[in-house]
Amino acid sequence: MKNRPTRAQSTVAMRSWRPSGLVALAAVVALTAAAPATAAKQPRQVTEAVAPRVAGEPIMAIVSIKSQQVTFYDADGWILRAPVSTGTTGRETPAGVFAIIEKDKDHRSTMYDDAWMPNMQRITWNGIALHGGPLPGYAASHGCVRMPFGFAENLFDKTYIGMRVIISPYDTVPTDFSHPSLFVPKPEAIAAAPSRADKLSAEADEATRVADEAKKAASAAAKEAASLPAALRKLEQQKARADAELAFADKTLVNAKTDQARAKAEELKQKAVAKAADAATQLDAARAAAQPKRDAAAATKEAAKAAAARKADAVKAATDAKLAGEPVSVYISRATQKLYVRRNTHKPAPDGGGEVFDTSIEVPVTIRNPDQPLGTHIFTAMAKTDSGLRWSVVTIDNGDDARNALDRITIPQDVWDRIGPTALPRSSIIISDEPLSSETNYRTEFVAVLSNEPQGGFITRKPTAPAMIASDDGWDNGGNGFGFFFQQRDPYVQPVNPRPRSQYQYYQPAQPMQRGFW
């Protein structure tokens, strides 16, 4: 009985609806339905924040597309946070793994009407960057990550080339992590690294000097050997002419009718005999000397090849020793089943854009159940500890659990032995289902984008110029390390990820194009 009044009131209310009342109700429903779309354009309540402690050197930045914010982390946690504006629909900011590759305090866009992009920190050469810009409170850029003007200015001098930038579709934070496959540096190896680098650098210098001298000797010997056929042909022609003259003298002597003619013919024959004998002697001597010269040329050529090989080994060892003092980054791709290593050489790129990253290690890896997704996980060495390094993990694409993903990978021991003992804070290991983007080349760290997320801002930009890869001619062709030469194809353009994906695919040019700036 208690419910009867209520039901009666409801019935009366329902009966009292008039057309105007229904229209009003419909309007309320329509406004309610439209609320999410309107709310999506409303400014979010993300504010700038600074950690209440002394900040260390930033190690990584994480941009959350979902929350429209960026957070910077040092070894002990977050240090700076600010709202951002990422790419709008159709020009979405690509989610993935990046690093700062160039900085420009007062950048002007060459793609968007000379637009001012102050305190620009580039993360791809085709035009994705972090920079100061207007923040309407929602995604509104052409693919870049806009930060508050003052925040971008204060941040500019705190970051560095090679600093990790992670763009995540959703909110994620670094989580403490440990695993036996992560680098465990050896203090004695780190302590010995500087003197080892000096020693190997001196050995590389000596090997380079010896190789240069051997190359010059081989060149001179090859030049001399190359002249032998022409010299022998000339002597053979001289002998043939002398033999012809001798034959003519014999014929003249036979046909002589008088004593005077015979005497003259005899004199001619004696001269012809001497000339033929001299030509034969010269030819025999040249033929005898030719073979030792050919043998010498072959020997100096082999010596030059051996010296060049010793130089290459010495330069490689010196380069590794020199780079041992740099944080190392490793990328493992399920799509290609390869492992790639990057370290910053701090050498300016020969074309004036950014710095050169060492690209000398690329090896196959074994992945258990390679048809099953790994996800995308970024493991970062945050700081030194008494036992080695303290690690964190950031996951931006769910596949397998981070620990299980690492368990499934077998990494060549010689690679670990080469880079693990001297691993430093800021070193990282990235595991992903994705291939490396075609943006990865000699002047980037790793660029990998999630192909199951929109990448409008990435797709619309032109690809960069053909990559230059390392040669073994020395730093800038003049010292220990790597020189560089253009090649027609970027060695890191990988096939499309076999993992099922959405319609969005990042740009992979079939042919190299001229470098396009934005």
Residue of 293, 370, 381 lying closest to 73 (CA atoms): 381
Residue of 100, 101, 122 lying closest to 111 (CA atoms): 122
- Cβ contact 182:82 at 8 Å: no
CA distance 251 to 249: 5
Q: Half-sphere exposure of 119 toward its Cβ, with a 13 Å CA cutoff? A: 19
CA distance 218 to 306: 12
Q: Is 144 a catalytic residue?
A: yes
CA distance 384 to 396: 25
CA distance 224 to 207: 26
Annotated catalytic residue, options 107, 131, 142, 377: 131
CA dihedral 262, 264, 268, 273 (to 10 degrees): 50
Which residues, at least 6 apart from 106, have a Cβ–Cβ distance to it below 8 Å? 116, 118
Classify residue 107 as left (phi > 0), alpha (psi -120 to 50) or beta: beta
Residue of 48, 46, 35, 49 lying closest to 139 (CA atoms): 46
Residue of 475, 160, 122 lying closest to 327 (CA atoms): 160
Residue of 257, 292, 252, 289 lying closest to 272 (CA atoms): 252
Annotated catalytic residue, options 107, 142, 144, 377: 144
Catalytic residue numbers? 131, 144
